[in-house]
Amino acid sequence: MEKIGINGIELAYIRRGTGTSLVLLHGFPLDHHIWDEVVPLLEDTFELILPDLRGFGESTTVNSSYPMDDFASDIAGLLDHLGIQKTAIAGHSMGGYVALAFARLYPERISGLGLVSSQVLADPPDRREGRYKSAAEVAEKGIGSVVDAMTTKFTPDPNLQAFARENMEKHPPAAYIGALKAMAERKDSTSLLASMKYPVVVIHGDADVLIPIERAREVKDALPHAHLVEAAGAGHLPMMEDKVQTADALKRLT
């Protein structure tokens, strides 16, 4: 992977393909490899930018707390480095929260938004408390309990569960702690929807147990020009469980 220094961290990324630029952001606690199977389906249409978000994969992080906005600022710095002024951006789950922060902070730099297995709502108080508890547990005992709890929730497919477990085990505790706190404190993006005049694609598995399909339908209800794809039988990883439909939907962001 290529690496740049930005905001006190080293940010790793891959750049592939030619066409309109599209940034693909992974969710928690994963890395850019979740997109591996859709990259070949998209690289003739887009110039793809696939970063590892701070702390994950080959990117480093800092030892202090940071808001979701800092993940978005890392992406803006990467785009500056690459000479890309405006781009489409699609995020999976937590990557969607980063994409929404990017849309709020840099409205002039976004040409299209993809929300994959994500949501625009902030955490309710009990979920926020749960995140702080998980962060404290990771600090004390390591990542094992989060990995165990999430593995079967990603997808019913045992092969993809094995992929998710192996991927989750790569990242250091600091990445988990930083991201859990940033997710707990993220802003509600509901009011942002009205400002989205660009194409918006919402892709969601109808069997997602981590973020229910209702969150995607609510985005479609609030934003009639959004294109909603409900991936039948898919869980929280539609880019792997239903890669063709996911790639086809993302092509609307050209």
Retrieve residue 37's tokens.
């199977």
Q: In this structure, are residues 210 and 154 in contact, taking their beta carbons and an 8 Å threshold?
A: yes
Closer residue to ligand MLT, CB minimum distance, 210 or 222 = 210
Closer residue to ligand MLT, CB minimum distance, 47 or 229 = 229
Residue 28 as a binder of ligand MLT (CB under 6 A): the answer is yes
Nearest one of 23, 15, 17 to 42, comparing CA atoms: 17
Residue 27 as a binder of ligand MLT (CB under 6 A): the answer is yes
Residue 93 as a binder of ligand MLT (CB under 6 A): the answer is yes
- Which of 210, 212, 213, 217 is the binder for ligand MLT (CB under 6 A)? 210
Q: How many residues bind ligand MLT (CB under 6 A)?
A: 6
Residue 94 as a binder of ligand MLT (CB under 6 A): the answer is yes
Residue 71 as a binder of ligand MLT (CB under 6 A): the answer is no
Closer residue to ligand MLT, CB minimum distance, 73 or 93 = 93
Residue type for 179, please? A
- Interacting residue ranges for ligand MLT, rule: CB under 6 A: 27-28, 93-94, 183, 210
